[in-house]
Amino acid sequence: MAPMILVRNVDELKGEVISKGVTQRLLLEKAKSASGKLAVSTIEIQPWCEYGPIDYEGEMVYYVLNGYGNLAYAPGGQGELTNILCDWNSDSYSYIAPKQRHSMSDQGQAPLNLLRVEYEATHSPDSIMPWGVPIFRRNNPVRVDHSPGWISTVNQTPQTLRPMGVEHFRAVEYEIVHKAPKPEIPPPKPPEPDAKEEKSRDEIVNFVVRGKGKYLIGGKQYPVRAGSLIYSSPSGVIDVNPTKLVDVEQYTLEFLYFCIRI
């Protein structure tokens, strides 16, 4: 099965006003995702404006691209929004469980810009519903990956979300990629003769937060920049025409990586 591929840039999309002082730009519509349930958009909230309350059936992850605001939610998921989380600022993120009523407001002097990744689904009876809505920070590097040509620092891992009962977001990572001197590349190792094909059921979303570079998708290179969405659906087999970063311009590129299980 050939993967579905989509590359879009925020600055090329027309914004839709969804409430007073709130503009949405839709990077990925559900109808164009492999599952028919995944959508990605940016939300811009003007100073001292509010977006919500929001009642949504599926799972959501909000990532604050820049700005400063508050996130409010209703205890137990429903009812009045009484719990307010302050200091929701650049490079922090939150997971929203299905049917968790919430709203957002800009408390700064500049627009609050968010990336929203949503997956339409309900929790299974055996899953753990999180208590409230936490705010995570990406200020704790968990590992450093070395590749020919660059070094990548990973600031988030799927273990952050799994204990909360998250079902479809398998991984949410923030990677900072630095150019490095290119070492000699050893010849590739032949595949193991008894290696088994592992079927892939994951949709992959990369979003460039800062910098410029190029991605290889399905054997073709795509230039990307801050505000670029790179989406690919399951190919059927892992490591066949994968989506991967192949070049970094101006020394540094930072991107968000989402792996969503269909």
Over residues 52-103, the pLDDT tens digits come to: 999 988 999 999 999 999 999 998 788 899 999 888 999 999 999 888 899 9
Give the structural domain span for 61. Answer: 5-184+197-261
* Structural domains of the chain, count: 1
pLDDT of residue 31: 92
Q: Which position has the token pair 């620092």?
A: 153
Selection from 169, 168, 171, 141 nearest residue 158 by Cα: 171
Q: 189 in a domain, yes or no?
A: no
pLDDT at 119 over 90: yes
Q: What is the pTM of this model?
A: 0.87
Q: Please give the Cα distance from 18 to 45 (Å, whole number).
A: 10
CATH at residue 108 = 2.60.120.10
pLDDT of residue 114: 97
What pLDDT sits at residue 137?
A: 84
pLDDT of residue 136: 84
Q: Would residue 192 count as lying in a domain?
A: no
The answer to the question of residue 191 being in a domain is no
pLDDT-based confidence at 202, cuts 50/70/90? Answer: confident
